[in-house]
Amino acid sequence: MTGAALLQGGLLPEGLNVSFKLLPSILVLSMLGLFLAIGYVFRVADTEGMWVAGRSIGNVENGMAIGANWMSAASYLGMAATIALSGIYGLSFVVGWSTGYFILLIFMAAQMRRFGKYTAPDFVGDRFNSDTARAIAAVTTFLIGFVYAIGQARGMGLVGLYIFGDIGIPGLSGYQSMVVFMMAITVGYLTLSGMLGATKNMAVQYVILIVAFLVGLYAVGFTQGYSTLLPQLEYGRLISELSTEFSAPFVNESYYLWIATAFTLVVGTCGLPHVLVRFYTVESERTARWSTVWGLFFILLLYLSAPAFAAFGTDLFAANVGPVYGEGGMSSAAGDVIVVLAAQLANLPQWFVGFVAAGGIAAAIATTAGLFIAGSSAISHDIYTNIINPDATQREQVLVGRLSIIALGIITTLAALDPAAPIAALVSYAFSLAGAVLFPMFFLGLWWENTNRQGALTGMTTGLVIWFIPMLNEVAPNYGLFSGMAGEAGVISPALAQWVPAVGSALVATPIVFIVTIAVSLMTDEPDLETKKMVRQCHSPEPMGQQQTAEDVISTDGGETPADD
């Protein structure tokens, strides 16, 4: 995966039927219409309602929202793709993206709920009493949204080819035209629906994508004679018939890269702002815990099915299109649509294949919308209003928010025209960033009260720098930056790419950031008592009111201790 510069720009999934199809198009457009209608019906008036849904959501409902929020084109398309193309290495994505929720549950979910702030920049800014820390977290949130969305745009562009065909925007390839078209639809959808109804839509989006994925899997498995009732287990018997690359250990990528990727995806899960925000929407910390269990369950429905889809797709591809591995094997573009391709190669009706494709588009649009909202609020709320212009009116804030959504849309589209890697790898760059910069701040901030402002600032800066190095090394040459220095493999330093790969840089970065943050905190003054009490309140077993934050508790009922200040 490291720097495999494939047929870029003109990405064309071989074997996929690229043409305009009426029924699937109607299906996708009416799905978008449904999202807009739901957004309109459940629109909320105040900001509290918008961001945290009144803190009234229960276990199962929040579990579904966690699942919908989580599963993007990377889960729907990218995971099956890496499993099909890289075998056991692809499983590190299944493992990293699911088991990370346990770490989130035991170390952070309930404590975050008790802390009670809406966004990652809010947490970092308030915990470390620093506008600079808030700004770094906001910039990180924006960058995460941007990098994460490139993968979504690639997924929409490829899947859109099946549904709408080559729409032929002059000067652009079929894939590029589709990226522009789908991103325009996404930004338009966001402008029309605003941030309204985002949470209410999540349950619907989850249902659409999980049904599309599972029905697709069952139909392919049943019609092709692979499986009957439990394809998630039955594909085991197919494995021995597939090429050894599908299941032999470490033939595609090394053990080190497997561990680096899985570790990065785990810590990234615990550092992603749009995941943590789900814990503020629940009624109590107990619900925060149980809804994480439910969320993991809903996620596993898809994650245990993806390898089965990959196995079926690989077998069908080998039988109908050509060899999967080696020279002239399956391209990364075909891999990224393997889910749709499998349904098409199984000769299922066109509207049905369109339905499977629509699920992928629902996943991509839902996640892109969430990321863009988080990214634009980081700019308009945390940077513009808090730092640049504290007197900003409501209108100015909304304007800055809109402009940043459009800016995000444009840079994402440009970066996705000639993407550097397959969907799963693109998305894991964002996980590297969240795991290196935000996860250590959340973890230390919650579990060690002496973590202070200086420690956080140094730590976050270190994390950003370590994240940038492999990105410059591997990804920048793909966009023509420093390409003169890049060698044959498209990377500047192959040794660096081997030990600090962009997909798994957090394995190196996160421990270093932890050490730096702890060392600097020890060398400088402890934080003030007020901050420490806020941390202690996050760990106290005493129940808190539904609308309370840790800050409220310590400022209103500090008990007999205010004299200490």
Partner 1 sequence: MNDSEQGGAESESREYRTDGGTATARERSVDYLDAEVNIFKPSTPFMRDHLRIIWTGFVAWALIVFGPVTLTAIVPDAMSTPMPVLGFPLHYFLIAIGAPGGSLLLAFWYARKRDALDEKYGIDHAVTEGSADEDAVAADGGSDA
Which residues contact partner 1 by CB under 8 A? 88, 91-92, 94-95, 98-99, 101-103, 105-107, 110, 232-233, 236-240, 247-250, 255, 258-259, 262, 266, 283-287, 289-290, 292-293, 296-297, 300, 303-304, 307, 447-450, 532-533, 535-546, 554, 558-561
- Whether 86 and 253 have beta carbons less than 8 Å apart is answered as yes
Nearest approach in angstroms of CB 498 to partner 1 is 16
Q: What phi and psi, each to the nearest 5 degrees, are found at residue 247?
A: -130, -15
Task: Give the C-alpha separation, 159 to 365, whole Å.
Answer: 12
Residue closer to partner 1, measured from CB, 42 or 102: 102
CB of 467 to partner 1, least distance (A): 23
Q: Which long-range contacts (CB under 8 A, 24 or more apart) does 380-386 make?
A: 380/404, 381/119, 381/121, 382/119, 382/121, 382/122, 382/125, 382/134, 382/135, 382/137, 382/138, 382/141, 383/135, 383/138, 383/139, 386/125, 386/131, 386/134
Shortest Å distance, C-beta 270 to partner 1: 13
Q: Which is nearer to partner 1, 43 or 289 (CB)?
A: 289
Work out the angle at residue 327's Cα, subtended by the Cα atoms of residues 325 and 333, and round it to the nearest 5 degrees: 65
The 3-state secondary structure of 485-536, one letter per residue:
HCCCCCCCCHHHHHHCCHHHCHHHHHHHHHHHHHHHHHHCCCCCHHHHHHHH
> In the bound complex, what is the minimum distance in angstroms from residue 2's beta carbon to partner 1?
19
Closest separation between CB of residue 80 and partner 1, Å? 12
Q: Token pair for residue 269?
A: 């899960």
**H/E run at residue 275:** helix 273-276
Q: Which is nearer to partner 1, 230 or 481 (CB)?
A: 230
Residue 219 C-beta: closest distance to partner 1, Å = 22
What number of other Cβ atoms are within 10 A of residue 46's Cβ? 8
- Give the shortest CB-289-to-partner 1 separation in angstroms: 5
Identity of the residue, 57 or 149, whose beta carbon is nearer to partner 1 in the bound complex? 57
In this complex, which beta carbon is closest to partner 1, that of residue 170 or of residue 559? 559
For residue 499, give both structure tokens: 């030990």
Helix ranges, 165-241 (H): 174-193, 198-223, 231-234, 236-239
CB 535 within 8 A of CB 452: no
Q: CB 108 → partner 1: shortest distance, Å? A: 11
Q: Give the nearest distance from C-beta 282 to partner 1 in angstroms.
A: 11
Please tell me whether residue 282 adopts helix, strand or coil conformation: strand
Nearest to 14 by CA among 245, 338, 252: 338
Q: Which one, 402 or 532, has the nearer CB to partner 1? A: 532
395 sits in which H/E element: helix 394-417
CB of 286 to partner 1, least distance (A): 5
Of 201 and 451, nearer to partner 1 (C-beta) is 451
- For the beta carbon of residue 544, count every other beta carbon within 10 angstroms: 18
User: What does the block give as tokens for 304?
Assistant: 């245990």
∠ Cα 46 52 53 (to 5°): 70
Whichever of 43 and 536 has its CB closer to partner 1, that residue is 536
Categorise residue 481: left if φ over 0, alpha if ψ from -120 to 50, beta otherwise: beta
CB of 299 to partner 1, least distance (A): 8
Q: Which of 188/236 has CB closer to partner 1?
A: 236
**Backbone φ and ψ of 282, nearest 5°:** -100, 165
Least CB distance from residue 236 to partner 1, whole Å? 4
Phi-psi region of 16 (alpha: psi -120 to 50; beta: other; left: phi over 0): beta
Pick between residue 102 and residue 189 the one whose CB is nearest to partner 1: 102
Q: Name which of 405 and 446 has its Cβ closer to partner 1.
A: 446
Do 246 and 89 meet the contact criterion of CB atoms below 8 Å apart? Answer: no
Q: How far is CA 203 from the centre of its chain?
A: 17
In the numeric block, which tokens belong to residue 305? 């099915």
Nearer to partner 1, 192 or 248 (CB): 248
